[in-house]
């Protein structure tokens, strides 16, 4: 079987044709110090000296890399590997002159972090290298290329995410067995990490915030670490947890209740149903061609119609090699999300659906599921939480 990098590389030409971009230039250096987030998708390795990876609309692929890096370029990713010694400028300008593209996409984006892997200094260096050529005025953002490339998961990528989701659900089930009243958030965090080790998976984000563990009503959910706070009879426990399996991430939230189902407070049950219902309603709206903010607004409306304050984040982000995989966002049109909620959903996109409703006495009720966009709707990669997971030991 082809490597994932080869599979993703095969997608590039079609995407350049759709985006009407003649040439895509990935321009990087010292990638072990700072790595363009698109690189792992199409190049499995590090590049030390300034390097130019060129992909053309006609399907040509050329790598210009330092002489020490040249031998490490994997077979089959490029038609030609051109090593250089003292400086790259001459070779890069010569190749661009030969290709003579009307547009050159570079990895710069205001809104899309995943398409913003070019650093400011490397951009300035590129402008120096190209100064006096016509190409300096032909630079465009590679965001439409990278958004599609990251977003259009291949069947193998979806399979890996689905496996990550499955392992996450297994660990939640193991945690359900482990939980008793009176454990600290820190002990729960530790248990989950032991299980991750047993399942041989990594963290989808920073280990000390993964899982986020929130016991009881007194913590605003967010990117917080676990504390000495203990689980308590009659209270909720919330986890936000993702694993990395074979390079791909899951991202799920689950809610536990300490007590029998008959003791679940009415306002908690109502909030849970509102959140679960909002996720289901949003999933119903997901289909290729929908805009990100349209899906977000379905969930937002569902919640506000039931009298809940709006949730202060986007309904869903893409997941893939990163837990926040960039591209189209299922989010509101707020300044901090830029243009990402205007993106168009495509088949093969994998999104989270996540939101919370705030109760008066029990804190937030928050759930998160993972879905893949299909030809005519979506398919859940996770098994949506249908009721609070009750813990009656303690």
Q: Which stretch binds its own copies (CB under 8 A): 94-102, 214-222, 287-295, 356-364?
A: 214-222
The H or E element that residue 365 is part of is strand 364-373
Q: How far is 202 from 212, CA to CA, in rounded Å?
A: 15
What is the C-alpha separation between 14 and 200, in angstroms, rounded? 36
Give, as ranges, the residues between 14 and 53 that touch its own copies (CB under 8 A): 29-30, 32-37, 45-46, 48-50
Closest among 307, 158, 177, 176 to 254, alpha carbons compared: 176
Rounded to an integer, what distance in angstroms lies between the CA atom of residue 381 and that of residue 164?
Answer: 10
Based on the shown chain and the rule CB under 8 A, indicate whether residue 1 belongs to the binding site for its own copies: no
* Candidate residues 205, 245, 356, 362; the one interacting with its own copies per rule CB under 8 A: 205
Q: Which CB sits closer to its own copies, 129 or 264?
A: 129
* Residues 328-357 within binding reach of its own copies (CB under 8 A): 334-336
* Residue 224 binding its own copies, by CB under 8 A: yes
Please list, in sequence order, all residues whose beta carbon lies within 8 angstroms of the beta carbon of residue 224, skipping any fewer than 6 positions away: 209, 212, 214
- 117 contributes a contact to its own copies by CB under 8 A: yes
Least distance from C-beta 383 to its own copies, angstroms? 26
Instruction: Report if residue 88 touches its own copies, rule: CB under 8 A.
Output: yes
Q: Which stretches of 20-63 are DSSP H helices?
A: 39-42
| H/E segment holding residue 252 | strand 252-258
Residue 218 lies near its own copies (rule: CB under 8 A): no
Using CB under 8 A as the binding rule, whether residue 377 contacts its own copies is answered as no
Contact positions with its own copies (CB under 8 A) in 121-180: 121-125, 128
Instruction: Give the strands of the sheet with 248-249, arranged side by side.
Output: 202-203, 243-245, 248-249
In contact, 298 and 282? CB cutoff 8 Å: yes
Task: Check binding of 193 to its own copies (CB under 8 A).
Answer: no
Torsion of CA 285, 287, 289, 294, to 10 degrees: 20
Binding mask 254-293 for its own copies (x = CB under 8 A): ----------------------------------------
Work out which of 93, 113, 280, 389 binds its own copies, going by CB under 8 A: 113
Phi, psi of 236 (to 5 degrees): -95, 160
Q: How far is the CB of 126 from its own copies (least distance, A)?
A: 9
Q: Which residues bind its own copies (CB under 8 A)?
A: 29-30, 32-37, 45-46, 48-50, 66-72, 85-89, 106-125, 128, 205-206, 208-209, 219-225, 312-313, 322-326, 334-336
């Amino acid at each position: 079987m082809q490597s994932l990098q080869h599979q993703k590389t095969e997608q590039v030409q079609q995407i350049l044709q759709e985006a009407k971009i003649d040439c895509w230039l990935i321009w990087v250096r010292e990638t072990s110090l700072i790595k363009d987030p698109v690189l792992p998708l199409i190049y499995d390795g590090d590049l030390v000296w300034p390097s130019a990876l060129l992909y053309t609309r006609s399907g040509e692929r050329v790598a210009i890399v330092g002489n020490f890096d040249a031998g490490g370029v994997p077979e089959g990713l490029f038609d030609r590997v051109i090593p250089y010694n003292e400086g790259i400028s001459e070779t890069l300008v010569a190749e661009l002159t030969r290709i003579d593209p009307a547009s050159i996409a570079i990895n710069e984006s205001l809104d899309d972090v995943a398409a913003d892997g070019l650093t400011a200094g490397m951009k300035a260096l590129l402008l120096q290298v190209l100064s006096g050529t016509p190409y300096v005025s032909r630079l465009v953002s590679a965001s439409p290329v990278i958004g599609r490339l990251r977003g259009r998961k291949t069947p193998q990528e979806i399979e890996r995410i689905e496996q990550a989701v499955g392992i996450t659900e297994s660990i939640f089930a193991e945690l359900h067995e482990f939980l008793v009243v009176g454990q600290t958030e820190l002990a729960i965090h530790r248990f989950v990490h032991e299980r991750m080790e047993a399942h041989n998976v990594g963290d989808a984000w920073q280990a000390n915030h993964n899982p986020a563990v929130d016991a009881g009503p007194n913590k605003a959910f967010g990117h917080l670490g676990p504390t000495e706070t203990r689980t308590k009879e009659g209270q909720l426990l919330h986890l936000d947890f993702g694993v990395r399996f074979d390079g791909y991430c899951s991202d799920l939230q689950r809610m536990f209740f300490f007590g029998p189902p008959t003791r679940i407070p009415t306002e908690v049950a109502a909030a849970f149903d509102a959140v679960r219902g909002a996720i289901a309603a949003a999933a119903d709206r997901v289909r290729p061609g929908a805009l990100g903010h349209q899906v977000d607004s379905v969930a937002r409306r569902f919640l506000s119609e039931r009298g809940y304050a709006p949730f202060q984040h986007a309904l869903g982000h893409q997941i893939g090699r990163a837990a926040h995989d960039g591209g189209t966002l299922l989010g509101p049109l707020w300044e901090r999300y830029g243009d990402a909620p205007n993106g168009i959903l495509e088949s093969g996109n994998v999104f989270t659906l996540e939101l919370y409703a705030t109760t008066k006495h029990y804190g937030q009720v928050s759930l998160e599921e993972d879905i893949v966009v299909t030809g005519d709707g979506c398919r859940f990669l996770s098994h949506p939480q249908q009721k609070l997971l009750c813990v009656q030991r303690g």
